[in-house]
Chains A and B, each alone.
Chain A
Amino acid sequence: MLTLKSVHSYYGSLHVLKGVSLHVRAGEIVALLGANGAGKTTTLKTISGLLKPRTGQVEFQGEDISRLSAEAIVQRGIAHVPEGRRVFSTLTVAANLELGAFARRDHQAVKKDLQEIQERFPILRERARQPAGTLSGGEQQVLAMARALMARPKLLLLDEPSMGLAPRLVQQVFAIIRHLQATGTTILLIEQNARAALKVADRGYVMETGRISLDGTAAELMDHNEVKRAYLGKGYQEVWED
């Protein structure tokens, strides 16, 4: 469904992605792991068009989208939930959701989707008239994901959805991810919480300083010594023991 072929991206003169190749098949959850600053977020930005690759290709459903604008890419069916949630804080929760469907023209269906999403996440209905900035961190994450779903994406890019959340909320976020997979959404997931990510993922990639250093099925990566040492060590246990 999505294929990156030796993609190079820059911030000005700073060379960040140094030949990234990866692919995501329809229906999969693929985890993208890596240390801070490895270039994970940059990879997602390059896919969603916030950043243009200098060389290399990004193909989505057989089409080269690497020269398309971010707006056009959303219309192709890719939704990107950015790092740090980035809800529109002074706009209402409802307005945030509506903006998620900005690119869509099927207004009746949008209304129905809004209903459905509000049923699935009742908090978004209760707080519909409230500024999004007044939600808690976990609620904002739910809003950010729900907002992306309003675009009816074929591919969902999630950048560290569990960042900064309490353990109970982390579980909730992963429950949503599982549910999305069950309903047929394809997901490319960045996570610091490698074990949790590999638990829901089918496959995974590990990035190091702008390159893919390792890839394999989730089970393979989980067992890989390098991955164990670097990403599955401390820090996540508290999360999954309660």
Chain B
Amino acid sequence: MLLQQILNGLTAGSVYALIALGYTMIYGILGLINFAQGEIYMAGAFATVLLLSAYKVNFFVAFLFGMGVAAVLGLILERLAFRPLRGSHPLVPLISAIGASIFLQSLALLLFGPADRAFPLQFEFAALDIAGVTVSTLQVAIFVTALFFMALLVVFVKYTKFGKAIMATALDQDTARLMGINVDRMIALTFLIGSALSGAAGIMMAIYYNTTYPRMGLLPGLKAFSAAVLGGVGNIPGAIVGGLLLGVAENLGAGYLSSGYKDAVAFAILIIVLLVRPKGLLGGRGH
């Protein structure tokens, strides 16, 4: 039972971690909580689902397409809703992000309707029995895929020129410019990466719960933000640890307390972290 909950939690948590990475990177570089992150997650899922229902394309192609749509949406958002507001009080881009979030959500509602959509592909998933605990191969696949993307991001940030330039920009924009780094481009790149990861997260959740709908991003967005705070906002390993912990905590809470309030666990954790350890487990960075 305990182990079962933990494993279920790790699956959801790995997805939260992917979204939390987007929050944390964007916060690190702009000092902005991108409220529309949940809608980008939703857009990634919709793009994949719509493509798969309209055309007979390969699943991996559809997956990449969904990530691509999410990434482009992130770029557009940065360009239209955030870049013109740079340099003003943090409240201003924050409200703009809220506006973007509500705009995208209602746009999806108008375009696609409120109904849930099932995932167009049927996968055959086996249930693995490991020491009395049942894990579906779907869970394993999601967890492994999420870890893969996280590893990719960490390698990118730590070992590539542009990854280091993003970190430098997050630390000190003026000095980054003195190195010849184009700060606008690094910010756009951050949005692109963060959004692509959120898109991937949305697609995986659309498969996991077999449902896609316009408001699907609201709760995962909030939870992922809590995860980012839990790990320390602006801190990349923190987002990963925070996401996994949050997923596990949420499932334990649902299993041992009450499943009706499962969604409240993330929020309770957010409040407790803010009270007890506002810098998060691994410490914040950036702004």
Contact = CB atoms under 8 A, between A and B. Distances in A.
Asked if A and B touch directly (CB within 8 angstroms), the answer is yes
Interface of A: 48-50, 69-71, 74-75, 79-80, 82, 86, 88-91, 95, 98-100, 102-103, 147, 151
Interface of B: 161, 164-165, 167-168, 171-172, 174-182, 285
Contact of A86 (B165, B175, B181, B182): B175
A71 B177 contact: yes
Contacts of A80: 178
Given A82-B174, A88-B172, A99 B285 contact: no
Contacts of B179: 74, 99-100, 102-103, 147, 151
Nearest to B182: A71
Top 4 A-B residue pairs of the complex, sorted by shortest distance between their CB atoms: A103-B180, A74-B180, A70-B177, A86-B175
14 contacts: A50-B178, A70-B178, A70-B180, A71-B177, A71-B182, A86-B172, A91-B164, A91-B168, A99-B165, A99-B176, A99-B179, A102-B161, A102-B181, A151-B179
A91 B167 contact: yes
The binding surface of chain B is classed by DSSP as: helix
A75 B168 contact: no
B177 A50 contact: yes
Contact of B167 (A49, A69, A90, A103): A90
Contact of B180 (A50, A86, A88, A102): A102
Contacts of A70: 177-178, 180
Given A90-B285, A91-B164, A99 B171 contact: no
B178 A48 contact: yes
A48 B181 CA distance: 13
Contacts of A91: 164, 167-168, 171
A99 B181 contact: yes
Contacts of A90: 167, 171, 285
Contacts of A89: 171
A71 B182 CA distance: 6
Contacts of A147: 179
B101 to A, nearest CB: 30
B181 A71 contact: yes
A79 B285 CA distance: 27
A90 B182 CA distance: 20
A102 B165 contact: yes
A75 B179 CA distance: 9
Nearest to B167: A91
A91 B180 CA distance: 17
B234 to A, nearest CB: 10
